[in-house]
Structure 1
Amino acid sequence: MILNRRHFLLLLGASVGSLTLEGCALAQNNPSPQNTSTAAPSPTEKSQAPSYAIALPPLPYGYDALEPHIDAETMRFHHDKHHATYVNNLNAALDKHPQLKGKTVEQMLQNLDGIPADIRNIVRNNGGGHVNHKMFWEIMKPKGGSEPTGALAAAIAENFGSFADFKNKFNTEGGKRFGSGWVWLVRDKDGKLEVVSTANQDSPISAGKYPIMGNDVWEHAYYLKYQNKRADYLEAWWNVLNWNEINKRFEQASKIA
């Protein structure tokens, strides 16, 4: 199956919920009434924020909603500090090249060679960090877990043998990622599901692969609770998965021609 680049980008915009740079207000200026996880910016910050700035999305649940599997303090600094820093760094870089404001972050990651050299690594690292984390918050929920259903369950069985085999492969790949990075379930250019890992904040999008789900294995994602026991974190993470959202991402991926 040949990946249609235009269709790929359109679907990324639909499933990842990408924000175009033009016309996007900062999330802090219009927070969700159900979430107070992000502090409002100061008047100075508001006045300096460009109208096309990339937004830091609010968490779709409270800091403590994923306990006991992911603790509130980790969620607080992971979202409010780490993700916010990626957003701020990306916006600062894009201020230097306003011609990019009509592109989504996913489009920039899909064609990094087309990004000006002076900000290419910033977009790769911080744009990847933003997109990766936006997905990360969305595919988790309180009282999650269980197993996928429907077409995704069938595809996992076809590609990996069983859900148990898939889960084991996913955890193994996440555990052996040296240093910082992510472990992913992706759809490749031929329509096959793969488990892969990437370094740092690299996105599978840059390799032409569609990220269906991914787990953050940077130490900041788990160290307060699990210390050096990454395997324990990887196992616990399955208890907070939002399979409804992951199924939606798979459905979007499956529409790629």
Structure 2
Amino acid sequence: MNLPEHFPFTVKPLPYPANSLSPWLDARTIKIHHDGHYTSYVKKLNDILKNYPQYQNLPLEALILKQAFLPSDIRNDIRKNAGGAYNHQLYFSSMIHPSKGKISSSFEQIVCDNFGSVKNLLHNLKEAAMSVFGSGYAYLASDMSGKMHILVLKNQETPIEQRLNPLLPIDVWEHAYYLQYQYHRERYIDSFCRLINWKEVEKNYYN
């Protein structure tokens, strides 16, 4: 059994070559997003926690969930950077080349039970992602009964704060797509939907 990671947190390497998602997401966009933005959240989180040894044994999920118990002077920074590290980690693991990420028949049935079809789910996710004003995420999540929900979250909020199980995030911060798509967010979302690693989403559902 793998124990949850705690301080000092590490940047998870990309689970695929940076150029393997092209043409839907090019290598430059992926590398700057991963090596720059994601890495920055992890570094800032570690910089905060190095002065607070009493919280260094907490995994990311606990730091996000137990914000009310953190000192007020670091609470907001922990929320932003722990959330940023968590969301990016899940985002990168949620993508794969379309030839390798096909949905299983059993999980497709679960999606159909919740949304009628995979097509309907993707339509609803796209609408949620397009509705984000500014920076944030469209998130697929599930509750304790297994029912799925689509959330619109600002900045680096996570479904964990709503006691929901995160399954799949669409990052619509501009740094996720602007280098390749500029202001064409809809084209980026369509490309992301081609890249979904359904095996990973299914694994998250059963975790």
Q: TM-score range by the shorter chain?
A: over 0.9
Tell me by how many angstroms 1:190 deviates.
Answer: 4.1
Q: Return the letter of the residue paired with 1:182.
A: Y
Q: Return the letter of the residue paired with 2:116.
A: G
Distance 1:115 1:139 in 2: 30
Distance 1:238 1:146 in 2: 11
1:83-94 alignment to 2 at 5 Å? Answer: 83-94=38-49
Say yes or no: does 1:19 pair with 2:39.
no
Tell me by how many angstroms 1:155 deviates.
Answer: 1.8
Say yes or no: does 1:56 pair with 2:42.
no
Partner of residue 146, structure 2: 191
Partner of residue 46, structure 1: none
Report if aligned partners of 1:183, 1:198 keep a CA contact under 8 Å in 2: yes
Partner of residue 71, structure 1: 26
Tell me by how many angstroms 1:149 deviates.
Answer: 2.2
Partner of residue 160, structure 1: 115
- Displaced runs of 4+ in structure 1, greater than 4 A? 144-147
Q: Return the letter of the residue paired with 2:177.
A: Y
- Map Cα deviations across residues 182-234 of structure 1 (whole Å, 9 max, x no partner): 11110124431011110001111111111011110100000111111111111
Q: Return the letter of the residue paired with 2:5.
A: L
1:197-212 alignment to 2 at 5 Å? Answer: 197-212=152-167
Q: Percent identity?
A: 32
Distance 1:85 1:97 in 2: 19
Distance 2:163 2:47 in 1: 26
Cα 1:204/1:241, change in 2 over 3 Å:
same
User: How many residue pairs get matched?
Assistant: 207
Give the counterpart of 1:179 among 131, 134, 141. 134
Partner of residue 78, structure 2: 123
Q: Return the letter of the residue paired with 2:171.
A: D
Report if aligned partners of 1:18, 1:106 keep a CA contact under 8 Å in 2: no
Q: Return the letter of the residue paired with 2:183.
A: N
Instruction: Indicate the SS of the match to 2:16.
Output: coil
Distance 2:201 2:174 in 1: 24
Report if aligned partners of 1:112, 1:206 keep a CA contact under 8 Å in 2: no
Say yes or no: does 1:223 pair with 2:178.
yes
Once the two structures are overlaid, the 10-residue window that deviates more, 171-180 or 115-124, is 115-124
- How large is the RMSD of aligned CA atoms in angstroms? 1.8
Say yes or no: does 1:101 pair with 2:56.
yes
Query: Which blocks of at least 5 consecutive residues in structure 1 are unaligned?
Result: 1-12, 22-52, 253-257
Cα 1:152/1:240, change in 2 over 3 Å:
same
Tell me by how many angstroms 1:20 deviates.
Answer: 2.0
Tell me by how many angstroms 1:174 deviates.
Answer: 0.4
Distance 2:50 2:6 in 1: 14
Distance 2:201 2:104 in 1: 10
TM-score of the superposed pair, with normalisation by structure 1: 0.76
Distance 1:76 1:129 in 2: 16
Instruction: Indicate the SS of the match to 2:125.
Output: helix
Distance 2:9 2:187 in 1: 34
